[in-house]
Structure 1
Amino acid sequence: MQNKQVIHILEDDDLHRARLSSLVYGLGWHAEIYSDTSEFLRILPSGGLVLVRENPEGGAIEELLAALKSRGSWMPVIAFAGSANATTIVQAVFDGALDFLVLPISAPELLSAVGRALDRAGDVFAMRQRHALATAQVAALTPRESEVLAALVDGKTNKDIGQDLGISVRTVEIHRMNMLGKLGAKSSADAVRIGYDAINAGHLA
């Protein structure tokens, strides 16, 4: 792990913010501090890892990552809180946090959490690239071709698709052939993978 790793700390409590900053510097990293998400987003740094306090009612992680996505950005995020139950932790991870820590955080805990997050960040970034590519590919399809692709992802046959859409099997085959060409897919299985990535990116019904 590089000593110049930047940790962005989003914490509204001055004392906790100071303690976390001291911890980060003690590990040989650089800390940037923000009182809240809006201050962080105004600056919107281009790199590093975010350490953000989760709200007691949840939602802070989801809000932060949604705001980053709307700006075409993503950063690895570790959530923390003064206390947490299993439900809170699971929800934070579901919302996109790569790890969850409970205050007070020790140096070994933070070191391990950052290491795990950075290891996972590469996989997440690769997934985001696949989703972005799939989104661009699906955008080239006609509405009918998109429907055919979505049906293929659902495992439907040409006959099923034709019945659902009220068109002939031959017409389905034509749409399917055109769709494969536009996606640059070598096979239906390849198209299904692209469609699945597009669905996960929220760009295919």
Structure 2
Amino acid sequence: MDNKRLIHVVDDEDAIRRSAGFMLKTSGFAVSTWTSGVEFLKNVKNVETGCILLDVRMPEMDGLEVQQRLSERGVAMPVVVLTGHGDVSIAVRAMKAGAVDFIEKPFEKAVLLSAIEAAFEKITDAEGRASRAADAAVLIAALTSREQDVLKGLAQGLPNKTIAYDLGISPRTVEVHRANLMTKLNVRSLSEALRIAFAAGVNG
């Protein structure tokens, strides 16, 4: 293998393996594809370190289970989780378990590449975790208590309606708080907001 950064694409859908593989290869990455989490786990001790692009919904063993097994075996490769629409609560669980990011299918190239860059930063920057936690805590502290409540709800994977019910406010008000906290945290996506929340120890 040359010095290209390696991506392990673990997905039971042939179309996803092909499209993601092509997109990543044309972006300068080396790609290794796996048809299931079980297959990947069987071979993981012999594979080269890289970023794992892991589908959540697979037969035999789902992505969360694969992620847990990797963790149990001490495999520290960063994981980016691929989810179908509406799997946000699953994606939140994956991020709590250490995934770098989650991406909803069908994914855009820029979103995928951004998540993968974050994953490779994790490989090279493990010691930066403490400083990121401190930075995240400063950002969270700048939120109002109500915005922090909404963020905690999001960190639990709850939809806006449930957060609204729990806090005794309207779903529209939750949307306003959510928009405000995204602006204050200077993020554009829920996964970025959650990354800051989890770095600061907000677990809902």
TM-score in terms of structure 1 length: 0.53
* 2:40 alignment counterpart: 40
Deviation of the 1:126 alpha carbon: 8.0
The 2-side partners of 1:112 and 1:38 are apart by 27
**Aligned letter for 1:66?**
Q
Deviation of the 1:22 alpha carbon: 0.7
Deviation of the 1:125 alpha carbon: 7.4
Deviation of the 1:95 alpha carbon: 2.2
* 1:50 alignment counterpart: 52
Q: Return the match for 1:60 from 56, 59, 62.
A: 62
The 2-side partners of 1:83 and 1:113 are apart by 18
* 2:114 alignment counterpart: 112
Deviation of the 1:71 alpha carbon: 2.9
Deviation of the 1:124 alpha carbon: 4.8
Unaligned runs of 5+ residues in structure 1 are: 128-205
The 1-side partners of 2:101 and 2:24 are apart by 16
* 2:77 alignment counterpart: 75
Could you list the per-position Cα deviations for residues 32-54 of structure 1 after superposition, in whole angstroms to 9, with x for gaps in the alignment? 01011111112211300100111
Cα RMSD after superposing both structures: 2.6
* 2:86 alignment counterpart: 84
The 2-side partners of 1:84 and 1:124 are apart by 31
Is the alpha carbon distance of 1:85 and 1:13 closer, same or farther for their aligned partners in structure 2, counting shifts above 3 Å? closer
The 2-side partners of 1:47 and 1:65 are apart by 15
Any runs of at least 4 consecutive aligned residues in structure 1 with deviations exceeding 6 A, and if so which?
none
* 1:158 alignment counterpart: none
Could you list the per-position Cα deviations for residues 53-81 of structure 1 after superposition, in whole angstroms to 9, with x for gaps in the alignment? 1129xx83432233223333221000012
SS at match of 2:121: helix
The 2-side partners of 1:124 and 1:60 are apart by 27
The 1-side partners of 2:62 and 2:125 are apart by 23
TM-score in terms of structure 2 length: 0.53
SS at match of 2:8: strand
* 2:28 alignment counterpart: 28
Paired residue total: 124
Q: Is the contact made by 2:7 and 2:50 (CA closer than 8 Å) also made in structure 1?
A: yes
Deviation of the 1:20 alpha carbon: 0.9
Unaligned runs of 5+ residues in structure 2 are: 130-204
**Aligned letter for 2:100?**
L
The 2-side partners of 1:101 and 1:53 are apart by 10
